[in-house]
Chain A
Amino acid sequence: MLVSIYRYNPETDDKPVMQDIDIEVPSGKDLMVLDVLALAKEKDPTVAYRRSCREGVCGSDGMNINGSNGLACITPLSDVVMPGQKLILRPLPGLPVIRDLVVDMSIFYKQFEKVKPYLLNDDPPPGIERLQTPEDRAKLDGLYECILCACCNTSCPSFWWNPDKFIGPAGLLQAYRFLADSRDTASTERLEALKDPFSVFRCRGIMNCVAVCPKGLNPTRAIGHIRSMLISQGA
């Protein structure tokens, strides 16, 4: 099968090119895209990509697979190409390319950092731990599972247009994760930091983030909850 891979080294190349590599896919097996990449790398060892856990936990191998963002390690070939079709791999859109499929995620982490993704609580800590009812704990389900692969942010046009101002789906999911946490006491400050026209309100609700999230999370819903909290606070 033909695998078309985005090749670009900003230090030596004038512009990116798509390189076709013909590989032998073992019959009777539905390989993951990451396995196909490994086979392609055997043919051309200069192909660069990130990978680590190979089971959808570390979020290292986020890339654009036949036009849609996803994790190469948990995306079966049968999900993205029909038999006889070409597999097209590009880096995550909207981030600077370091080399081939490896992107510079600094701006993504900077936006994540802005939401203070950690518990803020000025109350004296109790002897053992800050307790939470099972109901309050359940509110965090669907929020804490994000692995920061950046598939969502880099499929969002608002993030492409204003990557320095719009926090993006991943960061906002985490912002709501701490707004919803019964142990966090900084909701007012957190909301105050989000009420400008860009941080939250650039979300147009097109739900690309929901469509591509490899963990099945719903950042759009979390953003809706943040908006509701902002309205409640502003009223």
Chain B
Amino acid sequence: MDYVCACYRSCGGAAMVNRAINFRHSGLFDWIIQRFSAVVLAAYTIFILGNFLLHADMDFHAWKSIFDSIFTRVFSIITLIALCAHAWIGMWTVTTDYITSVQFGENATVLRFVFQFFVFLIVTGYLIWGVQIFWGS
């Protein structure tokens, strides 16, 4: 049940910000999301490559017809969410490895938050932009 709650909490931007500053959130949750999202990304890569193999003479119309299908759109958006989650957890982990007081002294916390804030903006921007692209036309 705790796990379901953690999943729910992680869906919002506020939760993402909270996770950036809170070192006590569940590492298990992050670990599972990283692996689950990696599987989704791998499946989507195979799906796209498979489409290229099936449509040897891929042109704009063939490409558009693939993305006109509801399945592709939903799968693409799920993959986009997986990518954003993967990127956020990965970057959070990288910043808490490399931007620490060991390397940057007492400025580390401020530096890390600034960096994580920009990562948050970029990830959120890509998510909104991606949904607009996949669902907008």
Interface set of A (CB-CB < 8 Å, partner B):
158, 160-163, 165, 195-202, 227, 230-231, 234-235
Contacts and interface: CB of A to CB of B under 8 A. Distances in A.
B51 interface: no
B24 interface: yes
B31 interface: yes
A108 to B, nearest CB: 15
Which residue, B24, B27, B100, has most C-beta atoms of chain A within 10 A? B27
A165 B97 CA distance: 11
Which residue, A161, A165, A231, has most C-beta atoms of chain B within 10 A? A161
Nearest to B3: A234
B102 interface: yes
19 contacts: A158-B97, A161-B98, A162-B96, A162-B97, A162-B100, A165-B23, A195-B26, A195-B27, A196-B25, A197-B23, A197-B25, A197-B93, A198-B23, A199-B27, A201-B28, A227-B31, A234-B26, A234-B28, A235-B3
Contacts of A235: 3
Contacts of A234: 2-3, 26, 28-29
B91 to A, nearest CB: 13
Interface of B: 2-3, 23-32, 93, 96-98, 100, 102
A129 to B, nearest CB: 35
B102 A197 contact: no
A51 to B, nearest CB: 29
A163 B23 CA distance: 14
Q: For chain B, what secondary structure do more than half of its interface residues adopt (helix, strand, loop), or is it mixed?
A: helix
B26 A196 contact: yes
A231 B24 CA distance: 17
Contacts of B32: 231
B15 to A, nearest CB: 14
A230 B29 CA distance: 10
A196 B28 CA distance: 7
A201 B31 contact: yes
Nearest to B30: A197
Nearest to B98: A161
Nearest to A166: B97
B28 A198 contact: no
A222 B2 CA distance: 25
Given A163-B102, A196-B23, A235-B3, A230 B97 contact: no
Contacts of A197: 23, 25-27, 30, 93, 96
Contacts of B2: 234
B21 to A, nearest CB: 13
Given A197-B93, A231-B32, A161 B100 contact: yes
Nearest to A160: B102
Contacts of A227: 28, 31
Given A197-B93, A234-B2, A235-B3, A161 B27 contact: no
Given A162-B97, A162-B100, A197-B27, 19 more contacts: A160-B102, A161-B102, A162-B96, A162-B102, A165-B23, A195-B26, A196-B24, A196-B25, A196-B26, A196-B27, A197-B23, A197-B26, A197-B30, A198-B23, A200-B27, A201-B28, A227-B31, A231-B32, A234-B26
A163 B29 CA distance: 22
Contacts of A158: 97
